[in-house]
Amino acid sequence: MIDFELSEEQKALIDTARRFTKERIIPVAAQCDRDARFPMDVFQGAWEIGLVNCTCPAEYGGAALGELENAMMTEELAYGCSGIQTSILANTLALTPIKLAGTEEQKKKYLGMLTSEPVMVSYATTEPGAGSDVAGLTTRFTQHGDDYVLNGQKCWITNASYARWYVIFATSDPALRHKGIAAFIVDRDLPGVRPGKKEDKLGQRASDTAVLHLDDVKVPKENLLAPSGAGFKLAMETFNQTRPDIAASAAGVMRRALDESVAYAKERKTFGVPIGQHQLVQAMIADMGIKLEATRLLYQKAAYNLDHGVRDATVSAYAKCFGADSAMQTTIDAVQIFGGNGYVKEYPVEKLMRDAKVLQIYEGTSQIQRLVIARNLLA
Ligand SMILES: Cc1cc2nc3c(=O)[nH]c(=O)nc-3n(C[C@H](O)[C@H](O)[C@H](O)COP(=O)(O)OP(=O)(O)OC[C@H]3O[C@@H](n4cnc5c(N)ncnc54)[C@H](O)[C@@H]3O)c2cc1C
């Protein structure tokens, strides 16, 4: 049976997130974008009303929301600013591998930390020489007695400047590729952990993205999250769980682009009529609606699968790839509908276009999603 009716709880969650977006995110989004500044007070406000770490299990103080609810909430926040939303969601990216593979002690300590105070955390696979090719990472770990010592550099890490702890993927030997990768929970205050250069980005500028240096970082053995050989699988499983959220973010960006475009098309006149009466403008608006609705259905199905124990990486990849590519096209069209006004910061759509681009890049590029999809279809 298929049911598109939302439950009362889902409606209440969407309502809360929508109100928060309107009252707290939209008013600061343009300035945070200009200043490339993450609004910590917005993060704290979101945390206080339960919009951060939503999928954290109840045993550790979390709301234990399903992936579907988390994705729906993500769409709402992204409507206001996908940069601010990305930093909020990075906590979910970092807590997911602990939820999937952590020991009871790790969950109590590190998930408990997330629900007892508004801390930001990060997830780090990417390095200067290894992005799409996760198995090519070279951050090394060596065993010293019972403990581990980590050396290397991560880059493009969301929230790296502010994180209280990081999930770090490292290898015992780069030549082993995926077979050598392990995962660790690394506290920010350990000697040798040093957030570095903050990136000056095209879009999602409110979100912090930075380099992370790991120099002779001694990690206690109890912080091993996945042993050598199990880390790669954990990284892939984490992405499988979080990709529907990127599609949900894309839906939020598209919904905003559509709303802005419709309002503008009704008001702006050329040749004596509102531009919304020109069929070529109508076609762009119709395509926006189609892409938004299809993206929403895809992310909902991918998230529903996860909530019902159906492991389907193909649908997660469909959602991420289609959503990201659609958000890019939709925001390009929104700029087109605004004409010259679309090209200046006085209007909101140029930001949407800049923000959308990274949806095609992080958590697996659109090319990588197509490789995943094709590999599964041809298997
Ligand atoms: C704003 C931002 C936030 C991020 N946050 C995080 C984070 O929190 N944690 C984290 O670990 N990482 C993060 N990343 C990193 C992100 O996941 C990587 O940038 C992404 O996986 C791509 O890797 P790359 O940049 O090294 O590109 P590359 O892997 O060098 O790819 C370059 C181009 O080649 C294409 N390509 C590569 N291999 C193939 C192939 N086999 N077939 C076809 N095409 C291919 C890619 O699609 C891309 O177009 C973030 C990145 C950005 C920009």
Give the model's pLDDT for residue 304.
96
Residue whose structure tokens are 């990284």? 235
Our mutation pick for probing the ligand 1 site, out of 232, 362, 366, 369, counting the most ligand atoms within 8 A of Cβ, is 362
Instruction: Provide the residue-wise pLDDT of the chain in tens; the chain has 379 residues.
Output: 788 899 999 999 999 999 999 999 999 999 999 999 999 999 999 999 999 999 999 999 999 999 999 999 999 999 999 999 999 999 999 999 999 999 999 999 999 999 999 999 999 999 999 999 999 999 999 999 989 999 999 999 999 999 999 999 999 999 999 999 999 999 999 999 999 999 999 999 999 999 999 999 999 999 999 999 999 999 999 999 999 999 999 999 999 999 999 999 999 999 999 999 999 999 999 999 999 999 999 999 999 999 999 989 999 999 999 999 999 999 999 999 999 999 999 999 999 999 999 999 999 999 999 999 999 999 9
C-alpha dist (Å) from residue 235 to 168, 239, 255: 10, 6, 30
Structural tokens at position 11: 């409606």
User: Does ligand 1 lie within 6 Å of residue 156's CB atom?
Assistant: yes
Dist. CA 112–CA 94, nearest whole Å = 13
Helices 231-267 and 349-357 cross at an angle (nearest 10°) of 160
Strand partners for 170: 182
Residue whose structure tokens are 């905003």? 256
Dist. CA 6–CA 212, nearest whole Å = 41
Ligand 1 centre to CA of 306 (Å) is 24
User: Does ligand 1 lie within 6 Å of residue 239's CB atom?
Assistant: no
Residue whose structure tokens are 């769980």? 241
Q: What are phi and psi of 184, to 5 degrees?
A: -135, 150
User: Does ligand 1 lie within 6 Å of residue 238's CB atom?
Assistant: no
12: region left, alpha or beta (phi > 0 left; psi from -120 to 50 alpha): alpha
Give the model's pLDDT for residue 78.
98
Ligand 1 centre to CA of 129 (Å) is 10
Give the model's pLDDT for residue 53.
97
* Residue 50 exposed, middle or buried by CB count within 10 Å (0-12, 13-18, 19+): middle
Give the model's pLDDT for residue 3.
86
Dist. CA 196–CA 155, nearest whole Å = 9
Our mutation pick for probing the ligand 1 site, out of 156, 211, 212, 242, counting the most ligand atoms within 8 A of Cβ, is 156
Query: Which sign does the torsion angle of CA 116, 117, 118, 120 carry?
Result: negative
Give the model's pLDDT for residue 366.
98
User: Does ligand 1 lie within 6 Å of residue 123's CB atom?
Assistant: yes
User: Does ligand 1 lie within 6 Å of residue 153's CB atom?
Assistant: no
Give the model's pLDDT for residue 299.
98
User: Does ligand 1 lie within 6 Å of residue 183's CB atom?
Assistant: no
Report the catalytic residues: 363
- The angle at the Cα of 168, spanning 247 to 371, to the nearest 5 degrees, equals 40
Structural tokens at position 243: 């990709």
Residue whose structure tokens are 């598209």? 254
